Structure 1
Amino acid sequence: MPKLDSLDVTRRPSASNRPRIVIVTTSDLDEYVHAALRGTASGFFLKDASPAMQVEA
């Protein structure tokens, strides 16, 4: 994303028609997870998560 990162997107005001956001990343830092979930992210998983975890998310 050239102008925003995923955490910036989760900090945007939410609208009733806004899709749910699931963060997919290589970063496993607790601070990153907490920041995403404090925003509007509905979920968070690492890129190496199993296919079942990805479908569940």
Structure 2
Amino acid sequence: MGKRTKLVYNLSNLSDNGILPPILDGIADIIRNLGNTAAHPEDTEFSNEMVSSMMEFTQTL
């Protein structure tokens, strides 16, 4: 199996190499953080409004 790297470093590399535009780099970081929170929800609750907003945003992309 190949070497695995953290998503944050992969996204940063794409941005640094001009593959991911700066605006998408910031948005990708927000989505990554929300995804991490949702994947490890020990101390977090999402309101229905927040979930709807995240779904709408993701579908828009």
Q: TM-score, normalised by structure 2?
A: 0.33
Indicate the structure (1 or 2) with the bigger Cα radius of gyration: 2
Larger strand percent:
1
Structure ranking higher on relative contact order (CA contacts 8 Å, 6+ apart): 1
Q: TM-score, normalised by structure 1?
A: 0.35
